[in-house]
Amino acid sequence: MTNRIFYTKPSITQLETDYATDAAATGWGARCYDYINRFERDFKTYLGSDFAIATSSCTGAMHMGLAALGVGQGDEVILADTNWIATVSPIVHLGAKPVFVDVLPDSWCIDPGEVERHISPKTKAIIATHIYGNLCDMDALLKIGKRTGIPVIEDAAEAIGSVSHGRRAGSMGAFGTFSFHGTKTLTTGEGGMFVTSDAALYERVLTLSNHGRARGQTKQFWPDEIGFKYKMSNIQAAIGCAQIERIEELVARKREILAAYMVRLSALPGISMNPEYSGTINGAWMPTAVLHPSTGITREMMQQAFEAADIDARVFFYPLSSLSMFEDRPENVNAWSIPGRAINLPSYHDMSEADIDRVAATLLDVAAGRIYHNSAALQQSA
């Protein structure tokens, strides 16, 4: 049996270990927020946003941000049907209704035309999820937001390192959220970040993030309202400080791996991968192969082949509207079609060229077998 190729692993060096050790040894009492404050400062500087709040998860950051915007019972929030459950759960927890719209066939991100079509008097927010590092059409979405007065939010959980015309993913909307789960390009094990350049929104989320205790409150242990507890630990933030120092290196390696796959798979007809349009940079969090329906290659065929080759491969997100907890079944053609013929490819930082070769060869073998099968069937029918 060959060595298993995992779909993702973090890149942890001596720097992360040293910072985490220091936080564990000295980060208590008066110094219990030292690495948190530093991580927030360094992250907002990298992003180009004015404010940042480190959180326990991207989901928590989204929950507080939506709550700060006043999203609640009877409201509607528009988001792409292609999403992980983490993007929609805060909407449901706040009592609002998620409105699932289709995605574009090339970027797999939310379709601005469909957003426009689904706006109603109840629409309270629009969430733009930059899926797998691919960028939403933020220019179109922000124009819609400006015209209608509806805030556009960026779910940039998977898009650190992605840039649109000089603006980093997560820095363009009313607020942005990031994930630092162990699978992400920048990791703190678990964790997230809320970012914004809106001072009033920042203060509102800051209060909510601290059990509802306002920053100016002079009474000790006196909450001004019911808030949340979505804080990041100082030790997690210490790892984050090391990772943000290495962010250019981490993103560059992700981009190298995506480019390597594109070269190796370029001979495969009917394949598309993470796009990078003029004026943009794709952070390439998760290289993804989408096969044209005409190839006849299915998700299950690819899963079986990768498992036989001792390779991890993630499935493309199922449409949220296909989940049993939601009753609406909108006709979102792309969101329902793409997952059945797509696969996420391994892309951890210390993958070798031989590893990339093995992954690509497995996918090419699937295609060759399918093409051979189709040719034989055509000859038989003749």
Active centre residues (catalytic): 184
Pick from 182, 108, 112: nearest CA to 334: 108
Angle between helices 14-26 and 34-47 in degrees, nearest 10: 140
Total residues belonging to the chain: 382
Nearest of 311, 293, 284 to residue 302 by alpha carbon: 311
> Which three-class secondary structure state does DSSP give residue 188?
coil
Beta bridge partners of 195: 52, 176
Q: 174, 176, 216: which is closest to 55 by C-alpha?
A: 176
Residue 222 DSSP class: -
Write out the two tokens for 242: 């090391």
What is the C-alpha separation between 96 and 74, in angstroms, rounded? 6
Q: Judging by beta carbons within 10 Å of its beta carbon (0-12, 13-18, 19+), is residue 376 exposed, middle or buried?
A: exposed
Question: What are 113's two structure tokens?
Answer: 């035309």
Q: How far apart (Å, rounded) are the C-alpha atoms in residues 306 and 303?
A: 5
What is the spatial distance between Cα 156 and Cα 170, in angstroms, rounded to a whole number?
A: 5
Residue 289 bridge partners (DSSP): 343
- Token pair belonging to 42: 């360094």
By the 8 A CB rule, do 137 and 109 touch?
Answer: yes
- Distance (Å, whole) CA 239 – CA 379: 59
CB-CB contact of 294 with 270 (8 Å): yes
Name the residue among 360, 362, 377 with its Cα closest to residue 296. Answer: 377
Cα separation, 202 vs 128, in Å, equals 19
The angle that helices 299-308 and 353-381 make with each other, rounded to 10 degrees, is 130
